[in-house]
Amino acid sequence: WGDDCALATIDADKLDAYVQERRGETSDETISREVRHLVFLLRLAKRSRSYAGDLSTLRPPDLHGSYVPRTRVLRPGELEALLAACGPELGALVRVCTALGCRRSEALKLTREDVAGSLAKIRGTKTAGSAREVPVLSVFRALLEQALPLLPIKAVSTNVNRELYWACRRAKVDHCSFND
């Protein structure tokens, strides 16, 4: 809306026009997040008496976030095929994410010193509970030990998700993400 847009001018009509414009550019899930953040900002402005508008009328009724959490998991045979199709660093990243159930960004921060006995220290920052210690389950111990010599894992490429996509294709397994 520009640098000179005053908060007081944001109303349902202005937000509806914004949503219509954004629908040609991105998904409703992304737009829904943007609107949620804007309404939060306006709620703070209302609390400080800088916004007098009605917050309950801002969100367009036809805007629904369509995010559905993925439920894909790698089966044992798929994991073996995928690891065979990965290079050393990508394979180590897949092993760590699988063994510890951590995010890609958390796996990239893991060092050998973070793995002590039956616990691994996860240096997460995404949510309040991200920084934590997790147990290394015996069924995943060998998988993690195979990755230990490569810790910390250097960035595999500038687009590690694309690299994983192509490894899945080579392995002839359905596409998966590091969270799967």
Q: What is the pLDDT of residues 60-89, one digit of tens each?
A: 888 877 667 778 888 889 999 999 999 999
What pLDDT is attached to residue 130? 84
What pLDDT is attached to residue 116? 92
Show contacts of 113-118: CB within 8 Å, 24+ apart: 114/151, 115/144, 115/148, 115/151
Does the reported pTM lie above 0.75? no
Low-confidence ranges of the chain (pLDDT < 50): none
